[in-house]
């Protein structure tokens, strides 16, 4: 068994849609980035890549490559899973935390689990997602951005 950790953070800006966990969330701000900037999926992807001792998401899908401009992070996550499987691994489980003051994310967690498990071709009960706030502290606490952490366990099959 192998374990990897992932982290991502993006600034909230006007003029972008907010995508988290593969779900479009109604909000007046979105995350700034080259792709759809889905911090949760990026953290999960990096945790899987780390568990398999592979290069990180930014090196696999660089932000200076126009191929990935505006791409859904669900597509990137699926491509990461293809690489993980090609190395002979399967996912044991994923646990994650999204840190945001606003919007409230609890109503969307089940939908996020469904999207993530679908992209990874695993059962939804293997995906954990928690939504937390920063209690008003730091950039996420004052609403400047959203961050996510993820831990993945994989095993050789």
Express each pLDDT in 24-44 by its tens digit.
Answer: 999 999 999 999 999 999 999
Q: Which two tokens stand for residue 120?
A: 């990874």
Task: State residue 152's pLDDT score.
Answer: 98
In a domain, 97, yes or no: yes
| pTM over the 0.85 mark | yes
In a domain, 24, yes or no: yes
How many domains does the chain divide into? Answer: 1
- Cα separation, 102 vs 123, in Å, equals 28
Q: Which two tokens stand for residue 68?
A: 């990935």
Q: Which residues of 32-50 are buried (b: 16+ CB within 10 A; e: fewer)?
A: ebbbbbbbbbbbbbbbbbb
**pLDDT one-digit tens code per residue, 103-133:** 999 999 999 999 999 999 999 999 999 999 9
Confidence band (pLDDT; 50, 70, 90) for 77?
Answer: very high
- The CATH number of the domain holding residue 134 is 3.30.1330.50
Task: State residue 105's pLDDT score.
Answer: 98
In a domain, 153, yes or no: no
Q: Which two tokens stand for residue 153?
A: 């366990």
Task: State residue 107's pLDDT score.
Answer: 97
CB-based contact 57:50 (threshold 8 Å): no
* Domain around 119: 2-145
In a domain, 156, yes or no: no
In a domain, 150, yes or no: no
Containing 89, the helix (H) or strand (E) segment is: strand 89-99
Task: State residue 76's pLDDT score.
Answer: 98
In a domain, 152, yes or no: no
Containing 28, the helix (H) or strand (E) segment is: none
Which residues are within 8 A (CB) of 148 and not within 5 positions of it... i.e. 6 or more apart?
6, 7, 8, 9, 39, 40, 42, 43, 44, 96, 97, 98, 99
- Cα separation, 75 vs 41, in Å, equals 10
């Amino acid at each position: 068994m192998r374990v990897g950790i992932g982290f991502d953070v993006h600034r909230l800006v006007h003029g972008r849609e907010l995508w988290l966990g593969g779900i479009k969330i109604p909000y007046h701000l979105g995350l700034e980035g080259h792709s759809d900037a889905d911090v949760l999926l990026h953290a999960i992807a990096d945790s899987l890549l780390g568990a398999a001792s592979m290069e990180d998401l930014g090196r696999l899908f660089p932000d200076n490559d126009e191929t990935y401009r505006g791409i859904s992070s669900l597509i990137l996550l699926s491509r990461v899973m293809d690489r993980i499987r090609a190395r002979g691994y399967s996912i044991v489980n994923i646990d994650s935390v999204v840190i945001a003051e606003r919007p409230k994310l609890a109503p969307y967690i089940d939908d996020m689990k469904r999207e993530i498990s679908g992209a990874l071709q695993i059962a939804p009960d293997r995906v954990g997602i928690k939504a937390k706030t920063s209690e008003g502290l730091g950039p996420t606490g004052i609403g400047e951005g959203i961050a996510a952490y993820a831990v993945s366990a994989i095993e050789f099959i």
